[in-house]
């Protein structure tokens, strides 16, 4: 499976998963020069959740969430702040979530969702 397609499918899976949990999706693949935020959602508790999605087709190369390094986490924080400023939501409660998606051979996805990880 192509890497881009895998990533897109993973984000799609998390998108539906969050909707199912009652999140309102505010933004998808928000991109500026400094990077990209996969999903921005408003939680039922009126918090803004910035979601980084990592997808893998197997666990052979380790857990997808292990791919989020300290460097990547620091970038996510900066991007989240940028998003808040640019959308006039500075001061609102926010958090950063991560979702690890594993696609099994049968095409089914398994989502490991972790809240407020940073």
Partner 1 sequence: MALAKVRTLALLGLVGHLVDVEVDISDGLPGYTLLGLPDAALSESRERVRSALLNSGLPWPNKKVTISLSPAWLPKSGSHYDLPIAIGLLAAQGVVENTVPETLVLMGELGLDGAIRFVRGVLPTLIASLAFGAKSAIVPVENYREAQAVPGLQVSAFTSLTEVVHFLQTGNSPIQEVSQEPEETHDFLDLIDVVGQTQARYALEVAAIGGHHLLLIGPPGTGKTMLAERISTILPVLTPAESLEVSAIHSVAGSLATRGLLTRTPPFVAPHHTTTTTAMVGGGSHAVKPGAVSLAHAGILFIDEAPECASGVLDSLRQPLESGCVTISRAVGTVTYPASFLLVLAANPCPCGKFNGRARGCTCSSREIRNYLKKLSGPLLDRIDIRAFVEAPTRLEMASEMHGESSALVKSRVVSARAVAADRFSGERWSINSKIPSSELRGRFKAERSAMAFLHKELDSERLSARGFHKVLRVAWSIADGCGDIRPTRSSVEQAFLMREGSFL
> Segment near partner 1 (CB under 8 A), from 5-13, 15-23, 65-73, 77-85?
65-73
Binding flag, residue 73, partner 1 (CB under 8 A):
yes
Burial (CB count within 10 angstroms: exposed 0-12, middle 13-18, buried 19+), residue 110: exposed
Please give the residues from 74 up to 103 whose contact with partner 1 meets the rule CB under 8 A: 98
Binding flag, residue 36, partner 1 (CB under 8 A):
no
Residue in the structure block whose two tokens are 């900066």 = 78
Contact 67, 20 (CB under 8 A): no
Binding flag, residue 25, partner 1 (CB under 8 A):
no
Binding flag, residue 63, partner 1 (CB under 8 A):
yes
Per-residue DSSP letter, 64: G
């Amino acid at each position: 499976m192509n890497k881009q397609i895998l990533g897109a499918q993973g984000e799609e899976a998390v998108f539906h998963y969050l909707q199912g949990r009652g999140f309102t999706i505010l933004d998808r693949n928000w991109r500026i020069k400094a990077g990209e935020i996969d999903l921005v959602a408003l939680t039922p508790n009126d918090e803004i959740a910035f979601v980084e999605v990592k997808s893998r087709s197997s666990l052979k190369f380790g857990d997808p969430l292990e791919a989020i390094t300290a460097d990547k986490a620091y970038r996510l924080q900066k991007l989240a702040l940028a998003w808040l400023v640019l959308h006039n939501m500075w001061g609102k409660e926010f958090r950063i979530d991560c979702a690890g998606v594993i696609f099994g051979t049968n095409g089914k996805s398994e989502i490991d969702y972790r809240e407020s990880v940073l």
